[in-house]
Structure formats: C-alpha cells, structure tokens
Amino acid sequence: MAKIGFIDYFLDEWHAEKYPEWIESATDGKMKVTYAYGKTDSTTGLSNADWCEKKRIQLLDSIEAVVEQSDYLIVLSPDNPEFHEELSALPLQSGKPTYIDKTFAPDRKTALRLFESANHHGTPMYSTSALRFATEYIETDKQGIETICSVGPGSFSNYSIHQIEPIVSLMGSEPKRVMYIGTPKSPALLIGFADGRQATIHHFGWECPFSMVLNYDSGNTKLLKPESDFFGLFIKNLITFFETGKPVVDPSETIAIATLIEYGHKAAKNPYQWLELPSETV
C-alpha cells in the first residue's frame, strides 16, 4: 500500500475531509492517506488531533516527519494559499510527487518560486482546480474560441480559480491584460488575450452554478455546464500523477492563473481600466 501524507494549515476542512475516502476507493485500497500534519487547529471545527482520531489517520508533529514517512504528498490549505510556500518547502525538496491544492499561490512571484524549487530538487509537482477535469470542458473543441462568458458561485478570492482555470485550459496560457468590471456584491473580471480574444468571469452568489458560454470565430456558440463527476475525474488524474510522477497541467498555465488572480485583485482597485499583465520571468 502506498502511503499519502497530508500537510495542511488546519485539517478540519472540506478537501481534507473528502480526499482520503475518494483516493482509497478509487485505488481499491492501494493508496491511502495515513499521515497528516496541521500548522494550527481550526477555530470553528475539530482540532487536528480530534480530526485525525475521527479519520483514523496518524497525526505527526512536523512536516519533516510527514515527508519522511510518506510515499506521496498533498499540501492542502485550499482557502489559505498564502501558507503554501511555507507548507511546501520541505515537500518540494523531497523528490516525492507532491500535489499542491488550489489556489496554488497568492501571487505570480510565489508561483514562480514554487516551480523553481520543485525543478531544482527534481520534485514532480502540480496544482489544479478540479473543474479543469469536467468532461464538458475536456471534450469541447478549443480551436477558434473567440469569447468566453463564465459564471459561478463564491467569492473572487477563493473561487475565481474555478472559473479562471477552465478558461486558461481552453484559451491558452498567455493572457495579456485584465479589467475589473464587477460590483462589491458581484465581482467580475474581463480578461484580454492575444488577437482580440477575451473572457469574462462573474460571481453571482451560491445559487449560481458554474457554467460558461463559448463563441467561436465561425459564429457557432456552445453552452457548457459541468455536471459530470469532475472531482472523481480529478482524483483519477491525481492517482495517475502519483503513479507516474508526470503532471498533466503545464506549469505555464498554473503561473498564468496565479497571475490573473493576483492582478484581478489589483484591477478591482481601479475598475474599468485595463491593467497589463507581466510576461517576464522572475
């Protein structure tokens, strides 16, 4: 049995709750989350010790111990990406396949540093939103997409990833500029790509399911609603990554996504003005 280690800001959160059962079920018990570390206890839920006791996962007292005793590593902290660099430092030096949960990094420079560390130490690593693997997105034709209008729930800070990731996977990793076009209650971002192509994301509250409309240069239109089991498809991809050490997400896309989120926050301070995106490496 391959042993997986969790490294989290605090362990009583939705991703840590669901991933162990999904991974064990998808591998028929050949992979299992056996170790975990949390930097702090949840302020609203179970302590790390109580969570581990409930999940029958061994709580270890350091990231180093989790890295040493695990075959594969998952750095979680899905709603606190500002801790990813700290939590990932030792995993990315280990050479062991490491998945870093969404949102990968709070800004472009951090994203670049994480990839530089992984490359320097020969550590296979990637990050993604599970929405990337929705069958509806994977199977759609990417050629000739001129415009995308995407909508979804949640706040910009931790849910924009789920709209931006599919957009970048469909339109490419070279967005040029962004403009904030939303309101305080309905954040929205216009993304400009090369050759006049563009995409918008809109947050309309928890009652608004993820969906997007694609318009092609041919004049054809598609409405995509991710109703497939995208979390199950993500878990299968994660298992393949652990087995092969080969991520399917291009680092350039992950860096572009981190850049868009960072500059989306900046653009919100001056709505309806274009903000050019950096292209140079750091």
Q: What is the pLDDT of residue 64?
A: 98
Q: Mean pLDDT for each consecutive 10-residue tract of the chain (282 residues)?
A: 97 97 97 98 96 98 98 97 97 98 96 97 97 96 96 94 97 95 96 94 95 96 96 97 96 96 97 91 47
Q: What are phi and psi of 115, to 5 degrees?
A: -65, -40
Class for the domain spanning 130-228+261-276: alpha beta
Half-sphere exposure at residue 256, Cβ-oriented, CA atoms within 13 angstroms = 23
Between β-strands 275-276 and 221-224, what pairing exists: parallel, antiparallel or unpaired?
A: unpaired
Report pLDDT for 280: 54
Q: Which CATH architecture has domain 2-127?
A: 3-Layer(aba) Sandwich (3.40)
**Annotated domain spans of the chain:** 2-127, 130-228+261-276
pLDDT at 282: 44
Specify the pLDDT at position 279.
77
**CB contact at 8 A, 168 and 256:** yes
pTM of the model: 0.95
DSSP calls for 171-211: H-S---EEEE---SSS-EEEEE-GGG-EEEEEE--TTS--E
Let me know: does 153 contact 206? Beta carbons within 8 Å. yes
Angle ∠(148,150,152) on CA atoms, nearest 5: 175
Going 114 to 111 to 109 to 250, the CA torsion angle's sign is: positive
Identify the pLDDT of residue 71: 98
